[in-house]
Amino acid sequence: MEHLIPFAPYTGWVYPNETVFEWSVLIAVYPYLTGLVAGAFTVSSLYQVFGFERLKPVAHLALLTSLCFMIFVPMPLLLHLGHPERAFNSTITPHLTSAMAMFGFFASFYVGLLILEGWFAYRPFIVEQAQKRTGVLGLFYRVLTLGSHDVSEHAMRYDRKWIFALAVIGIPAAHGLHGYVGFMYGSLKSREWWSSDLMPVIFLFSAIISGVSLLAVLYVLSCKLRRIPVDLACLKGLAYTIWAFIMVALVLEGLEFANIVYKAREGVEMIMQYVTGPLLIPYFILQFAIGAITPFLWLSYMIWRGTTGKALVVGVSVCAALVLFSVFMMRWNVVIGGQEISKTGKGLLSYHMPLFGKEGALAAIALTLAPLALLFGLTRLFPPWEEKVKLTEAPGH
């Protein structure tokens, strides 16, 4: 029990065991990271599978981003566990009716898929580096060739077929991976704030907009660091994708809230008191007004005006950053907010996040930034920039 928040102030009628928060900020970070994985892979698939040519400059960056964040997805769960070494038991001796137990299989499969697709995408570059470099790096690339140095057109056609097949398989895998998180919360009937059939779909659409927004920010930053102009067609394609999925996500979340109010089941009075009181700022102001509606209206204005140039770059970057903030607040309001409403429906609790410790704010920030540090290192070994290196193109090119 050492990982639990020891005490939470409360008001009203609350069960004694509810004064302890079972799930801390790390369990809010966990679905946030999985969402970034699914969203980033969506961008890669839009190019590799559906042929969205304008997204070509970020297709391989999206693949690397998805892999880096996926590697760190289990870390919040492992830190949260009192005995992280026991995590493998759910995989070795699985309980097939448990959504949490099945996650280990889905996550392992998806990591393998990302590595395999990345290998095919970077195979021409790996072969080139293996033949050109010496020393430790040369050995590293030679090992990665797996003994295959054939980069003829016939071999490249074969690689493109594999990339297409893996990308097609990866679409349901990536979205199912994150949909499972929403399924887990939506299936908990003990809490009215969570128990919703729309929860998996809401998590999925918010995941897509968060991943696409992350790619937009990373792409603009990478262009600035490399001192090259931003591909406005690519950035506009990302902006259209964010704009479209924000629209759907807003409708879904509005329907979910309206459904809770309309059903008016036991405890709805406390929910209304909560969302108009302690949750007013994090839910309506931060998550919706600032993080969702503002970027939606801003993107709508830029699309309507046909904004281009620096105004487009700045506008999309700011909107993408706001969306990333909004999606994190959504995860926070679901995970923490759902626990702040008592199971009796007649009381409220208050979560106080510690700054230090394995479940504190600093640990959560470090876990969110760690995949970006890994991504920075991987882009040094496997540059995703088409103008610098030869990469396997999508089928049909």
- Say what the pLDDT of residue 260 is: 76
394, part of any domain = no
Instruction: Tell whether 387 is covered by a domain.
Output: no
pLDDT for the residue 172: 84
Tell me the average pLDDT of the chain.
84
Does the model's pTM come out above 0.85? yes
DSSP state of 389: S
Q: Six-digit token pair at 346?
A: 């007649």
Instruction: Give Cα 377 to chain centroid, integer Å.
Output: 20
> Tens of pLDDT along 231-278?
999 999 999 999 999 999 999 888 888 877 777 666 666 677 667 777
Q: How far apart are CA 258 and CA 9, in angstroms?
A: 29
In sequence order, which residues have a C-beta less than 8 Å from that of residue 316 and are 6 or more positions away? 216, 220, 235, 236, 238, 239, 242, 299, 302
pLDDT over 70 (residue 28) = yes
Lowest mean pLDDT among 24-28, 71-75, 97-101: 97-101
Confidence (pLDDT) at 8: 58
Give the pLDDT of residue 280: 82
Question: How buried is residue 138: exposed, middle or buried, by Cβ count under 10 Å (0-12/13-18/19+)?
Answer: middle
Domains of the chain: total: 1
In a domain, 393, yes or no: no
Is 74 within the bounds of a domain? yes
Higher pLDDT, 311 or 90: 311
Alpha helices in the chain (DSSP H): 26-48, 56-72, 75-80, 89-92, 99-132, 135-144, 153-186, 199-226, 232-263, 268-275, 294-305, 309-340, 361-381
The pLDDT value recorded for residue 265 is 67
* pLDDT for residue 323 is more than 90: yes
Give the model's pLDDT for residue 17.
66
- Look up residue 107 and give its DSSP letter: H
**CATH number, domain at 359?**
1.20.1630.10
In terms of residue numbers, what domain contains 163? 10-381
In a domain, 30, yes or no: yes
Q: pLDDT tens for residues 122-143?
A: 999 999 888 888 888 889 999 9
221: exposed, middle or buried (Cβ count in 10 Å: 0-12, 13-18, 19+): exposed
pLDDT band at 2 (very low <50, low <70, confident <90, very high): very low
237 vs 17, higher pLDDT: 237
Q: What is the mean pLDDT of residues 213-221?
A: 94
Calculate the CA 4 to chain-centre distance: 25
**Per DSSP, what are the bridge partners of residue 341?**
348
Q: Is 110 inside a domain boundary?
A: yes
Residue 30 clears pLDDT 60, i.e. is over it? yes
Residue 298 has pLDDT above 90, yes or no: yes
Q: Which of 22-31, 140-149, 256-265, 283-292 has the lowest mean pLDDT?
A: 256-265
Q: Which pLDDT score, from 0 to 100, does residue 327 have?
A: 93
Place of tokens 């995970």: 335
Whether 43 is in a domain gets the answer yes
CA atoms within 13 A on the CB side of 329: 20
Q: How far apart are CA 226 and CA 238, in angstroms?
A: 20
Per-residue pLDDT tens digits for 82-127: 777 777 777 778 777 777 777 778 888 888 899 999 999 899 999 9
- Report CA-CA distances (Å) from 280 to 22, 195, 266: 23, 20, 21
- Residue 361, in any domain of the structure: yes
Q: Which of 364, 347, 331, 274 is nearest to 19 (CA)?
A: 347
350-394 pLDDT, tens digit each? 778 888 888 888 999 999 999 999 999 999 999 888 655 666 666
What does the block give as tokens for 23? 């799930």
Radius of gyration of the chain (CA): 22
Q: Provide the pLDDT for residue 3.
A: 47
pLDDT computed for residue 96 by the predictor: 74
d(CA 37, CA 203): 13
